[in-house]
């Protein structure tokens, strides 16, 4: 079964994934967790390592480097095309193979997280008209159960700061992304909309129920 976990940074995805993996280990349920997004698949990461020159820069320097890169339309278009083509095989073939050999494939971010990120990373691309994005959506393995976690932007920022997370986003960017997530949620892009402000034990219980798992056994 493919299961996806979505939401902005520090919305509670990683905590619930950790609890779910621990549950599966205890019950001897074979599972694997995969993290992915556009610009984060194996081929794209490999290419970026070859050409990037911001490895030793601080966060401000890295932001300036990325902004300069995306200011070049040809480079932006090339990276978008490579990212979409890489996602086609990664989500359609790799994930399906994992699904054959594991009881659960847990996706830490997936299709609609990528849709949100693309709107900010590739602002000149119209996703509604993009043939490549439509191809990715058509080919990607579909989750049987999908979760999206919501917390206010202020909570997300506070949690980021508490964890001393790398690349913390501006609160206005967080608010904009939450609005996009809300719009997708209203379209029914996830099977389960979760309140990330609830205690983690309560959320874990809700996750288990949505997966058809009960404390002490599974069905």
- Per-residue pLDDT of 37-46, as tens digits, reads 877 777 777 7
Alpha-carbon gap, residue 25 to 106, rounded angstroms: 13
Q: Using a pLDDT cut of 90, give the percent of the chain over it.
A: 70
Alpha-carbon gap, residue 115 to 123, rounded angstroms: 11
SS3 sequence, 105-129? EEEECCHHHHHHHHHHHCCCCCCCC
Q: Which two tokens stand for residue 12?
A: 């509670």
Instruction: Give the per-residue pLDDT at 216.
Output: 42
- Hey, what domains does the chain have and what are their CATH numbers? 2-218 (3.40.50.300)
pLDDT in tens, 134-176: 999 999 999 999 999 999 999 999 999 998 887 789 999 999 9
Per DSSP bridges, beta strands 213-214 and 217-218 are antiparallel
SS3 content of the chain, % helix, strand, coil (to 5): 55, 15, 30
Asked if residue 219 has pLDDT above 60, the reply is no
Lowest mean pLDDT among 6-15, 48-57, 178-187: 48-57
Q: pLDDT band for position 51 (50/70/90)? A: low
Q: Is 210 exposed, middle or buried (0-12, 13-18, 19+ CB in 10 A)?
A: middle
Instruction: Give the per-residue pLDDT at 135.
Output: 97
Alpha-carbon gap, residue 73 to 80, rounded angstroms: 10
Asked if residue 79 has pLDDT above 90, the reply is no
Lowest mean pLDDT among 42-46, 127-131, 207-211: 42-46
């Amino acid at each position: 079964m493919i299961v996806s976990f979505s939401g902005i940074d520090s919305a509670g995805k990683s905590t619930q994934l950790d609890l779910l993996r621990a549950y599966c280990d205890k019950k001897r349920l074979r599972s694997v967790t995969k993290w992915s997004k556009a610009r984060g698949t194996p081929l794209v990461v490999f290419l970026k390592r070859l050409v990037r020159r911001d490895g030793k820069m601080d966060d401000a320097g890295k932001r300036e480097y990325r902004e300069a890169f995306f200011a070049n339309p040809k480079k932006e278009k090339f990276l978008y095309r490579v990212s979409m083509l890489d996602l086609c095989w990664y989500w359609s073939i790799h994930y399906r193979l994992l699904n054959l050999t594991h009881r659960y494939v847990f996706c830490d971010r997936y299709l609609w997280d990528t849709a949100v990120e693309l709107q900010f990373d590739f602002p000149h691309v119209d996703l509604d008209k993009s043939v490549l994005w439509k191809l990715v959506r058509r080919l990607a393995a579909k989750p049987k159960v999908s979760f999206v976690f919501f917390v206010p932007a202020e909570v997300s920022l506070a949690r980021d700061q508490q964890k001393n997370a790398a690349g913390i986003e501006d609160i206005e960017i967080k608010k904009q992304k939450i609005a996009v997530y809300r719009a997708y949620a209203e379209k029914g892009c996830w099977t389960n909309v979760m309140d990330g402000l609830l205690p983690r034990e309560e959320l874990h219980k809700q996750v288990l129920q949505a997966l058809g798992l009960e404390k002490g056994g599974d069905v």
